[in-house]
Structure 1
Amino acid sequence: MYPKITWDLSKIRRNCREMLKEAANRNLDLVSVVNLAAGHEEIVWALAIQGIKTIGDSRVLNLKKYQDIPIKKMLLRAPMLKELKYLVEYADCTFISDLQTMRNLNQEAIRQNKHVEIILMINEKELHTAFDSNYHFIAELTEIATFSNLVLTGLGTNLSQYDEPDVVINKLNNLAHFKRILEEKLGISISLISCGGSNHISIWDSENLDKANNQIRSGTGILMGVGLNHEPIPFLEQETSWLEAQIIEVYPSSLSTKITVSGGDDELLATDSNPNHKQAVIALGHQDCYSNDLITTDDNIKILRQGPDYTILDVTNSEKDYQVGDVIKFNLTYLANLALMNSEYVVKEYLI
């Protein structure tokens, strides 16, 4: 059946082993982000078998689907008040920043007679300068020490929007400084700083980085082999997943190419029609995945346009004479993987 997304679990297992080894060499705790699994157990089982101790997902309902997998489960975003019941049931740890949400979460944890670990998320804008003991929200945070069923295990932030290493290092060092202030104020020990995603690989060997930053969250690294700006990570496997879609129509088409010639204040539009173009329609639309996140493996195929349940390709220059029933393969961006895994109309296949 098509369209079909295929995951090569052998490559993911190798990536997992390599990331675990590299993280251990740097005394880093590794959390495998599994948003791309979209609630499908096969990928998460592959990670658990390789020795991953903690997975992270942005959806509580996905964590629920992994309840039979013996692995620590972390919610990677602040929870909604309406989902606190399910958070306590299905997650062991959560990122959180709002004090009122913490109060409500503590009450729900008491009701269920459970303890929940929390990682206090610090907005990256707060990290532009070093903290001091009089910083405006530190006094508010002293209430955290009174929550009977919440355990503050760490601080966290998200710096994925930054690609300047010096900026990231400075912000993380400010976070490490804040950790020490908070430990002194609350009289507790905070065991970890969850310092970033796969892009952290580009700075994890920096001598200027405070070693208190000791947890890395890797999703694209383990599952796709890429890091900062989608650049391949040299010691990891890429092409871990791909899409195949079947052609349902093939027909000739006269394509018009508009050529704009600027001269002074005037623009001339010339039209060049080629009656020999050949188009193919595949059974995949933007309800499954947006076409600008697809990468054709045949460099001579161009993606022309897309509707809700179809995509039109120009196959004129391909060396293959495509016909109805033929299958076209695509490589995938992160967003393509995410969309396809969440589409019920796309078949999921896993190579062992």
Structure 2
Amino acid sequence: MLKNPRLNINLRKIKKNSEYIRNLCLQYKIELVGITKGCSAIPEVAQAMVDGGIKTLGDSRIKNIQMLKKMGIKAEMMLIRIPMLSEVDKVIKWADISLNSEISVIESLSQEALKNDTIHRIILMVDLGDLREGVRPDDVLIIVEKIVKLPGVKLIGIGTNFCCISGVMPSLESLTKLVKLAEEIEHSFGINLEVISGGNTSVLKLVEDGIIPERINQLRVGVGILLGQDDARSRNLDGTYQDTFILTAEVIELKVKPSLPQGEIGRDAFGEIPVFQDLGLRKRAILALGKQDVHINNIIPIKKGIKIVGASSDHLIIDITDLAEEINVGDKLDFKLNYPALLSASTSKYVNRYFYKEENCKYSN
């Protein structure tokens, strides 16, 4: 018997998504890096990406990269979060490439690489307006001058990021600026940059529209592969599957109850003051699923007529008054996931995982 709650993971569809996006990028000579952090680097998912033709995998946690290598995943590994000084030794041991923005960290990587008689490849991140990681454009040449003098590390390129902390969208103008910075570095220091990493899933729209600058030759794509979504634009990617991950939860209570609570309203368990609308008596179900398992605001019921009322840490309340079919205690209900929900559900130790390779699967049986 399958255990609930559970993530039903369709590896065939993740492979197909990887193939489709990879082929799209290859039309413009762009390498696709598969980002695994959105599903907590589930090894089977990482392997599906590799089976789909992806040669490099990226994750924000060195622990995940270490795990994937120990599991025998045959791909280059990229650490996509700026390394912590306290983990530099592990970065050198497990990551083939890392994204960087702090010279003190790069100096430490250099020293550790020398100890291990190796060359560690780095991509210098440039902040083009999203205000997450990266050096400012005016400081790029200053830091590159220091990097190229360091033994044990090789600057293979520069990169940038969009839509992660400030919602700044990628544009032809901003990516052209990145290319010009790369050319300025090459001219100033007499080096060739192998990689100009243009960003994440949000940049795929420029690829689809055929307006990606010619020298952008790498994209780091996570949610586009995992869920077939461009969440920055709230759209599905043409040619991809969105039902790659389905969350199933079990009904543990069915009752007709008032829609308006009785008594004085204070803050709930998460410090919020809930607001309710009086809709009279409603048929409600409780599912064995809560905020400790998943980001509730980003799950979508597959069956029509179900409305999410709210959740505590361990209970999800849904309104099933308008559901056409009969629901009983013990029944299972399925939900599609957006990125925050996948991130949290794959991280929770309370959510079980089951893997499928068939095209059409019924998960809630």
Q: Same fold (TM over 0.5)?
A: yes
Pick from 82, 107, 113 the counterpart of residue 117 of structure 2: 113
Pick from 54, 57, 62 the counterpart of residue 55 of structure 1: 57
Give the corresponding residue for 2:196: 193
Contact kept in structure 1, 2:130 and 2:167, CA below 8 Å: no
Residue type at the aligned position of 1:329: D
Give the corresponding residue for 1:156: 159
| Secondary structure at the counterpart of residue 157 of structure 2 | strand
Once the two structures are TM-superposed, the CA of residue 148 in structure 1 deviates from its matched residue by 1.2
Please list the CA deviations of residues 304-343 of structure 1 after superposition, one character each: whole Å capped at 9, or x if unmatched.
1211111111112211222210111111111111111011
325-334 or 117-126, larger mean C-alpha shift? 117-126
| Secondary structure at the counterpart of residue 41 of structure 2 | coil
Give the corresponding residue for 2:361: none
Aligned residues: 333
| Secondary structure at the counterpart of residue 101 of structure 1 | helix
Contact kept in structure 1, 2:36 and 2:42, CA below 8 Å: no
Contact kept in structure 2, 1:159 and 1:168, CA below 8 Å: no
Give the corresponding residue for 1:234: 238
Q: Distance in 1 between matches of 2:121 and 2:8?
A: 35
Q: Is 1:212 paired with 2:215?
A: yes
Q: Is 1:337 paired with 2:339?
A: no
Q: Is 1:292 paired with 2:294?
A: no
Greater strand content: 1
1:26–1:208 distance in 2 versus 1, CA, 3 Å? closer
Q: Is 1:124 paired with 2:128?
A: yes
Contact kept in structure 2, 1:28 and 1:215, CA below 8 Å: yes
Residue type at the aligned position of 2:60: S
Contact kept in structure 1, 2:284 and 2:318, CA below 8 Å: yes
Q: Distance in 2 between matches of 1:151 and 1:220?
A: 29
1:351–1:78 distance in 2 versus 1, CA, 3 Å? same
Residue type at the aligned position of 2:104: Q
Pick from 11, 14, 22 the counterpart of residue 20 of structure 1: 22
Contact kept in structure 1, 2:83 and 2:100, CA below 8 Å: yes
Q: Distance in 1 between matches of 2:21 and 2:298?
A: 26
Residue type at the aligned position of 1:57: D
Q: Distance in 2 between matches of 1:346 and 1:175?
A: 41
137-146 or 54-63, larger mean C-alpha shift? 137-146
Give the corresponding residue for 2:257: 253
Q: Indicate the structure (1 or 2) with the bigger Cα radius of gyration.
A: 1
| Secondary structure at the counterpart of residue 11 of structure 1 | helix
Q: Distance in 1 between matches of 2:211 and 2:40?
A: 37
Give the corresponding residue for 2:95: 91
Q: Distance in 1 between matches of 2:211 and 2:250?
A: 52
Contact kept in structure 2, 1:9 and 1:351, CA below 8 Å: yes
Contact kept in structure 1, 2:260 and 2:280, CA below 8 Å: yes
Q: Distance in 1 between matches of 2:183 and 2:141?
A: 12
Once the two structures are TM-superposed, the CA of residue 81 in structure 1 deviates from its matched residue by 0.7
Structure 1: stretches of 5+ with no match in the other structure: 128-132, 258-269
| Secondary structure at the counterpart of residue 32 of structure 1 | strand
Q: Distance in 2 between matches of 1:16 and 1:137?
A: 33
Pick from 206, 228, 233 the counterpart of residue 203 of structure 1: 206
Contact kept in structure 2, 1:303 and 1:313, CA below 8 Å: yes
TM-score (norm 1): 0.89
TM-score (norm 2): 0.86
Q: Distance in 1 between matches of 2:319 and 2:173?
A: 48
1:271–1:11 distance in 2 versus 1, CA, 3 Å? closer
Please list the CA deviations of residues 126-154 of structure 1 after superposition, one character each: whole Å capped at 9, or x if unmatched.
99xxxxx9x44523421111111111111
Q: Distance in 2 between matches of 1:271 and 1:45?
A: 47
Contact kept in structure 1, 2:24 and 2:208, CA below 8 Å: no
1:181–1:105 distance in 2 versus 1, CA, 3 Å? same
| Secondary structure at the counterpart of residue 236 of structure 2 | coil
Please list the CA deviations of residues 219-268 of structure 1 after superposition, one character each: whole Å capped at 9, or x if unmatched.
111111112423111122221111100011112201139xxxxxxxxxxx
Give the corresponding residue for 2:41: 39
Contact kept in structure 1, 2:308 and 2:317, CA below 8 Å: yes
Q: Is 1:282 paired with 2:287?
A: yes
139-148 or 338-347, larger mean C-alpha shift? 139-148
| Secondary structure at the counterpart of residue 124 of structure 1 | coil
Contact kept in structure 2, 1:31 and 1:216, CA below 8 Å: yes
Residue type at the aligned position of 1:69: I
1:126–1:50 distance in 2 versus 1, CA, 3 Å? closer
Once the two structures are TM-superposed, the CA of residue 274 in structure 1 deviates from its matched residue by 2.1
